[in-house]
Structure 1
Amino acid sequence: MSQCRVCGRSVELVLDLGSQPLSDVFPPEPPAAGQEFFYRLQLGRCAGCATVQLLEEVPRERMFGEHYPYRSSGSSVMRTHFSDWAKHLLGTELAGKPDPFVVELGCNDGVMLGTIAEAGVRHLGVEPSGGIARTAEERGVRVLTAYFEKETAAAIAAEDGPADVIYAANTLCHIPYIGSVLDGVSELLTDDGIFVFEDPYLGDVVAATSFDQIYDEHYFLFSATTVAELARRHGLALVDVERLAVHGGEVRYTLAREGKRPASPAVAELVAEEAERRLHDPATLAAFADSVRHNARELIALLTRLREDGHTIAAYGATAKSATVTNFCGIGPELVTTVYDTTPEKQGRVTPGTHIPVSPASAFDAPYPDYALLFAWNHAAEIMARETEFRERGGRWITYVPDVRVL
């Protein structure tokens, strides 16, 4: 039984996805037995505050080291998403302030702060992974290579003063020591400032059975209900929510100091929707777990049948979340020969745990495989628009969200 990172109560098991490797560590070749780090991937629900979280914490240094490969700029959809958000901030929260200051937690390669920097606005990205921090600096972004917590916030405040906006995208859910992070936000934020973060939404994960959103880096699956409780415990209030289509369904949460801003009606509406759906009920989460196991069985049966019939199968998108699928389902090179991906840092390597070779997306070309398993399903529209010839030559896509199907 694990202890909740929000309220300290016990966390009860919802779903066991078995022994899993680090999702974003792609070995140069299949490691010898015992040379690859594994942990137990189990999802649970707090009996007190209902926050959905992992039972086992992977040390942050193992996940977010010097060679962390994910690049936010790798998708044109995400580049537009972050550019639009930065422009929104410049035209609203930051407009008219004499010397505004923006801090981003987990700024990655600087895709959002690059727009802020170009506008001449004072800023700081806090990024623990040295390689991508340097990429952000090359973009003209000022970066502190560190993990953000209360002590970090105090040091930033002492040097730069308080922040008008603190932002995090696909970062807060990665951080088990969330109390220290929220205390740091409270330490650094101006009296009337806002903390905005966007992360995968529990409601969308449950609705779509997107169990690959559960992996080592996604320690929490947030909802409006649980974020409101989390904020309250640290002198903050949830004042706005916005549903986002990116990454398979996210919510952008806006927090402010308690009593400083009125809450948007959207907050009460989403909390009420979650209550109506009984989103946090053990029975709802148990049904989700049953659907996950069903989809996993269906996927492995489909791939096995296609291979037995002599068809060739590759995959598209060496995503972090695909590690959950391949390792839980036991999908290795005997079923899927290659994974094609656009990230240079992953190419020429093998997938975590199951050791499927990773090839450049530019090599996804004739002769095409008969089928392509779409691991990067959250970028399906972008990928299919780019890979039209695959379909024209008779290729078929396979997806497993919300269910297993051949497109």
Structure 2
Amino acid sequence: MTACRICGGDLVEFYDFGRQPLSDAFHKPGQFQDEFFFRLAVGLCTDCTMVQLMEEVPRDKMFHEDYPYYSSGSAVMRKHFELTARRFIETELTGPAPFAVEIGSNDGIMLKTIADAGIKHLGVEPSGGVAELSRSKGVRVLNEFFQESTAVEIAATDGQADVIFSANTICHIPYLDSIFKGVDALLKPNGVFVFEDPYLGEIVRRTSFDQIYDEHYYFFTARSVQSMARRYGFELVDVERLPVHGGETRYTIARQGARQPSPAVAEMIAEENARGLATLPTLEGFGENVTKIKDDLVALLTKLKAEGKTVAAYGATAKSATVANLCGLSADLVSYVCDTTPQKQNRVSPGTHIPVRPAEAFHEDTPDYALLFAWNHAEEIMAKEKQFRDGGGKWILYVPEVHVV
């Protein structure tokens, strides 16, 4: 039995994805002899209901100088973060000398709008490459991991913040005790800590199991976040569903008693309880659905190969590592993965070592079928690649089930 990282309660494993690599470790061909692997398994805390990984991958192995994910790569996400920034400008950053801090600011996609408005800001980003790109956009960045000591230093230098924001980052961080102590040191008395991450309710509903990989340590619900916030002296005061990344929730945290909780909090928790979301029977049923998708996808790809059809994958996403390695995919079934990220091109996919080629390959060496790893951007991608569909090409998706469109 493993102890919960939040409350110390019993953590009960409900699904094992097996031996998995670092999801964003794209090696050069023939240079993966020392590739890092770990056991990817997920469990439920029977006390605070937090769902989390059973094993922790060292943070410096995942987030480093050459970290290859750029938030600005999607037009949908660029718009999403621009609207997020404008909302903060209109609501929380209206007082004298407002100050906004972002944990895991990536390439500055959100903070740039705040910087352009002339508002004091700071991004805290441990990955050197994306941090440097932020600076080139005029965004102020501290190239470090956010933790209690970092927050204390920022507060001493810049004062306390009106808003501490984080997107697709808090779920990455096992040591949330240090994060909340840092927020306590850095946040103004009436400030807000706002973070958005993949929502367990959507992961279970859609069986979007590829949201589970090394970087995602926690899988939040309103109930588990409420419990976590109270444990650290804070309160969950609002929740908001978001359509991005296959279904996320934005959580707004304030100091206890500082703000009146929105009715949306109680409504979401009631819905989660009615679904039995954070219960072993529900999560074990999710695991059974994962196994069915795995079996169906392998069967389809094997059948297409037997028929002489060609299959390539679209989007060398972090989450595709879970799918490819769980299913044991190889270049024998999926000839290549195309991706627009230069840092991933002319390398091989983590664990399965499928060649990653530039996006142009999709038109120069057009497959009969395209396995859409970046399914959360399906609408945007399919509109962009209309020529593929018009030419008889077909898309393979596996969320919420294996199907061809």
TM-score, normalized by length of structure 2? 0.99
CA distance in 2, matches of 1:187, 1:206: 35
Is contact 1:338-1:358 (8 Å) kept? Answer: yes
Of 350, 353, 362, which aligns to 2:351? Answer: 353
Q: Counterpart in 2 of 1:19? A: 19
The aligned runs of 1:194-343 (5 Å cut-off) are 194-343=192-341
2:121 maps to 1:123: yes
Match in the other structure for 1:163: 161
State the distance in 2 between where 1:56 and 1:30 align: 28
Deviation at 1:367, TM superposition (A): 4.6
Shift of 1:363: 2.4
Following superposition, the deviation at residue 344 of structure 1 comes to 1.1
Measured in 2, the distance between the counterparts of 1:215 and 1:366 equals 32
Instruction: Give every structure 1 segment of 4 or more consecutive aligned residues whose post-TM-superposition deviation is greater than 3 Å.
Output: 30-33
**1:393, 1:371 → 2: CA distance?**
11
Alignment partner of 1:365: what SS? helix
C-alpha deviation, 1:47, in angstroms? 1.7
Structure 2: distance between partners of 1:254 and 1:187: 17
2:216 partner letter = H
What residue in structure 2 maps to residue 40 of structure 1?
A: 39
Deviations 1:168-219 (A, max 9, x none): 0000000000111011111110000000000000000000001100000000
Q: Which of 369, 372, 379 is matched with 2:370 structurally?
A: 372
2: distance between equivalents of 1:233 and 1:367?
Answer: 54
CA deviations 1:225-257 (Å, max 9, x no partner) are 000000001111000000000000000000000
Amino acid at match of 2:80: H
- Residue aligned with 1:346, SS: coil
23-32 or 196-205, which deviates more: 23-32
Aligned twin of 2:80: 81
Matched residues in 1 for 2:32 and 2:102: separation?
Answer: 39
Cα distance, 1:310 vs structure 2: 0.4
Tell me the equivalent position of 2:89: 90
C-alpha distance after superposition, 1:100-137 (max 9, x if no partner): 00000000000000000000000000000011100001
**Which residue in the other structure is 2:68 paired with?**
69
Give how far 1:28 is off: 1.1
Q: CA deviation at 1:30?
A: 3.6
Match of 1:393 in 2: 391
Deviations 1:63-106 (A, max 9, x none): 001100000000000000000110111111112x1100000000
SS at match of 1:198: strand
Cross-structure match for 1:58? 57
CA contact (8 A) 1:30 1:355 kept: no
SS in 1 for 2:309: coil
Match of 2:185 among 183, 187, 190: 187
- Report the secondary structure of 1:78's partner residue: helix
Do structure 1's residue 109 and structure 2's residue 107 form an aligned pair?
yes
What is the CA deviation profile of residues 342-391 of structure 1, one whole-angstrom value per residue up to 9, with x for unaligned ones? Answer: 11111111100001111111221155100000000000000000000000
* Residue 31 (structure 1) shift: 3.4
Give the aligned length: 405
Distance in 1 between residues matched to 2:32 and 2:273, nearest whole Å: 48
Match of 2:8 in 1: 8
d(CA) in 2 for partners of 1:5, 1:399: 34
Deviation at 1:32, TM superposition (A): 5.0
Quote the Cα distance in structure 1 between the aligned partners of 2:365 and 2:64: 37
Q: Deviations over 1:252-310 (max 9, x none)?
A: 00000000000001000000000000000110000000000111000001001100110
Amino acid of the residue matched to residue 13 of structure 1? E
Task: Give ranges in structure 2 of 5+ residues lacking alignment.
Answer: none
Counterpart Cα distance in 1 of 2:380 and 2:293: 24
Quick one: structure 1 residues 306 and 31, their matched pair in 2 at CA, closer, same or farther if it must change by over 3 Å? same
- Residue identity over aligned pairs, in percent, reads 59
Tell me, which stretches of 5 or more residues in structure 1 are unaligned? none
For 2:29 and 2:115, the matched residues in 1 are separated by 39
Q: Which amino acid aligns with 1:200?
A: P
